Amino acid sequence: MSADLWNSAVRVLETNWSTDHMVPSRGLYPHQWSWDTAFIAVGLASVNPTRAWRDLRSLFAAQWPDGRVPHIVFDPRTAEDDYFPGPGFWDVPAYGGRPARGSTGLVQPPLHAVAAWEVYRRAVAHGAVCARESGEQLAWLYPRLVAQQEYLTGRRDAGGDGLASVVHPWESGLDNSPSWDAALAAVPADPALLERFRRRDIENADAAHRPTDIDYARYVGLAAGYRDGGYADTALAHRHGFVVECPSFNAILAAAELALVQIAKVVGADPAQHRERARRITTAISGHLFDPATRTFRSRDVRTRTLSPARCINGLMPLLLPDLPAGQARAIMAEARSARFGLPAQTGLPLPSYDRTATDFDPLRYWRGPIWINANWLLRRGMLVHGFRDEAEELRLAMIRLVHASGHFEYYHPRTGAGIGAPAFSWTAALALDLLADRSVPAYARAA
């Protein structure tokens, strides 16, 4: 099984490589996505570290002067009509040597420092030449990674409590998660937007598997509003319709700081600032996003200061953080074991993206029920950080079995394990390689 899965994953990554970057999949996703690049780099580290560095550099070459890393970098060889919302919709002006309309103005979870550290440590294991070349790549990336963190912890701290806010569900990476339903309910849904702008996603995928038209109308309206405001982040809670603190996004933000502790040591920078920032973010997550009544982490609407009632997989991600209070780590594991999610020991499968017992649980629709390998990969890392080694190994094996049996799909049915969404999906293939290659505790957590 291992050799077959390894070879099939390598073939997916070969197929999806596009000159200087990786596309998530051919057809549905023809450009470069931000957090996809991070997951993909982790897998490429085992088979082609040169491409891993090239993919990361391609993304960060599109970084904005304010430090934000756009959630999509557009391939100029792809026609405007081949993807919506395309470059013309976002209408981003030229910046930093980049052409106009070269990216979006949104961001995604900043997993890139974690990815860069993983690529580096794999390269070191391959000898001095690889280590030297990777050290040079880290030196190029380090100030850009720091700028990304400073943007998110500074301009995006809309609530003033030390947490980064997302201004669009797409920024979370968990596009139509029920975690956003309460906050989105206050956002007008204008069906006329979908008459002006034709959805391209449902031309390449089953509409029953994708966000609804109502959700999509809200997404387009929010994106247009942020664009029309010049992508400014001032007074977001007072003038923008969606401003939410996500436990997963912020856990990744803190994990990135822990990875930067290690990177700073390599490049000769001061790691103390990153260690302290990781501590502050962890404290803020623990203090503001944990619901003591249900002992779960929830997203928080900055505009209303209320926690989402939905129990989603993003609430399990603070387990990534080694300084999370032990009681909260145990609470996450209790939630993971419960009937709402279920570990592989109970279900035989990785965890779903949403509470299985919820009345609106949907086994087909994107982040409203299906299994995602990237979310489970992050959760496994958190289990290792907090010493839940048996559960982490069970989850690793469940992910490997699922991908081997069903293929490298975008996501999977939470009851049958059948592949759903885009086939030959890059991060699924890349993370399958990592799961086959690496059983260790994340290095950033061991030595931070």
Number of Cβ within a 10 Å radius of residue 75:
19
Residue 191 has pLDDT above 90, yes or no: no
What pLDDT band is residue 1 in, cutting at 50, 70 and 90? Answer: low
Report yes or no: 134 and 266 within 8 Å, Cβ to Cβ. no
Residue 439 has pLDDT above 70, yes or no: no
Q: Mean pLDDT across the stretch 154-164?
A: 98
Per residue in 97-151, pLDDT (tens digit) is 889 999 999 999 999 999 999 999 988 887 655 778 889 999 999 999 999 999 9
Q: What is the pLDDT of residue 212?
A: 84
CATH code of residue 273: 1.50.10.10
Per residue in 194-246, pLDDT (tens digit) is 777 776 776 777 778 888 889 999 999 999 999 999 999 999 999 999 999 99
Which residues, at least 6 apart from 224, have a Cβ–Cβ distance to it below 8 Å? 89, 193
Q: Which of 32-36, 190-194, 272-276 has the lowest mean pLDDT?
A: 190-194
Residue 435 has pLDDT above 80, yes or no: yes
Range of the domain at 373: 2-447
Residue 31 has pLDDT above 90, yes or no: yes
CA angle 306–303–340, rounded 5-degree value: 35
Alpha-carbon distance of 53 to 58, in angstroms, equals: 8
Q: What is the pLDDT of residue 132?
A: 82
Nearest to 318 by CA among 330, 308, 306, 310: 330
Encode 135-165 in three state secondary structure.
HHHHHHHHHHHHHHHHHHHHCCCCCCCCCCC
- Catalytic residue status for 175: yes
Catalytic, out of 55, 118, 157, 175: 175
Catalytic, out of 301, 355, 410, 434: 410
Q: What is the pLDDT of residue 126?
A: 74
pLDDT: is 3 or 446 the higher one? Answer: 3
Q: What is the pLDDT of residue 268?
A: 96
What is the helix, strand, coil percentage profile of the chain, to 5?
A: 55, 5, 40
* The overall pTM is greater than 0.75: yes
> Number of folded domains in the chain?
1
The DSSP string of 173-211 is S-TT-GGGHHHHTTS---TTHHHHS--SHHHHS-GGGS-
Q: Mean pLDDT across the stretch 14-40?
A: 95
Per residue in 289-331, pLDDT (tens digit) is 999 999 999 999 999 999 999 999 999 999 999 999 999 999 9
Per residue in 390-433, pLDDT (tens digit) is 999 999 999 999 999 999 999 999 999 999 999 999 999 999 99
DSSP label at residue 22: E
pLDDT: is 438 or 129 the higher one? Answer: 438
Nearest to 114 by CA among 56, 33, 49, 175: 56
What pLDDT band is residue 446 in, cutting at 50, 70 and 90? Answer: very low
Q: Mean pLDDT across the stretch 343-362?
A: 97
- Catalytic residue status for 410: yes
Q: What is the pLDDT of residue 129?
A: 58
Over the Cα atoms of the chain, what is R_g?
A: 20
